[in-house]
Copies of this chain bind each other. A is one copy, B any other.
Amino acid sequence: MFEGEHQVNMDEKGRISIPAAYRDVLRNLYTHETIVITRDFDGCLRVYPQDEWYRHVQKFHTQPQNSPEIRAYERVVISAAVTTQPDKQGRILINHTLRKHAGLIKHVTFAGGSGRFQIWDVERRDVKLMEDVIALQQARLDF
């Protein structure tokens, strides 16, 4: 369970420190820090512990493989996925493709989730959140 939102700065070389809290989860819950980074739909990055990624891909393959959505999912999410490990300082290097997709420049937000987390450009995230709040105010969720 990756908890909370954390802001960090990407340096000139494109390296981002993974929040210590997340690294603890990786070490303790998943026994190693190998992760898989890929694109997400909302213009951010999605990060899985390697085991979770395998599970995810397996699930993906149980779907009927010839629908347009599934093919799109393969192009957007599956094919961009990169396996990597934090360096000795606990940072990961984000490659050009992913950096560009998520619009990462310097200020970055990690957003928790269960079994995975996201990496956002701070500003982009703020805009999205604003939209979300408005949408929720107008929605009539019943729980």
Chain A positions near chain B (C-beta within 8 angstroms) = 3-7, 41-42, 56, 59-60, 62-63, 68-70, 72-76, 78-83, 95-97, 111-113, 118, 128-129, 131-133, 135-137, 139, 141, 143
Q: How far is the CA of A85 from the CA of B6 in the complex (A)?
A: 18
| Identical copies in the complex | 2
| Interface pair B82/A3, CB less than 8 Å apart | yes
Return chain B residues, CB-CB under 8 Å to A118.
79
Closest to A135 in B: B72
CB-CB under 8 A from A128, the residues of chain B are 75
- For A96, the chain B residues whose CB sits under 8 A away are 7
Q: Give the residue among A4, A74, A113 with the most B Cβ atoms within 10 A.
A: A4
Contact A81 B112 (CB under 8 A): yes
Chain B residue with minimal CB distance to A76?
B132
Given contacts A7-B97, A73-B141, A139-B69, contact A133 B41 (CB under 8 A): yes
26 contacts between A and B (CB under 8 A): A3-B82, A4-B81, A4-B82, A4-B95, A4-B97, A5-B80, A5-B97, A6-B95, A7-B96, A7-B97, A41-B133, A59-B143, A63-B143, A70-B141, A72-B132, A72-B133, A72-B136, A73-B136, A74-B113, A75-B129, A75-B132, A76-B132, A76-B133, A78-B113, A79-B112, A80-B111
Residues from chain B with a CB closer than 8 A to the CB of A133 are: 41, 72, 76
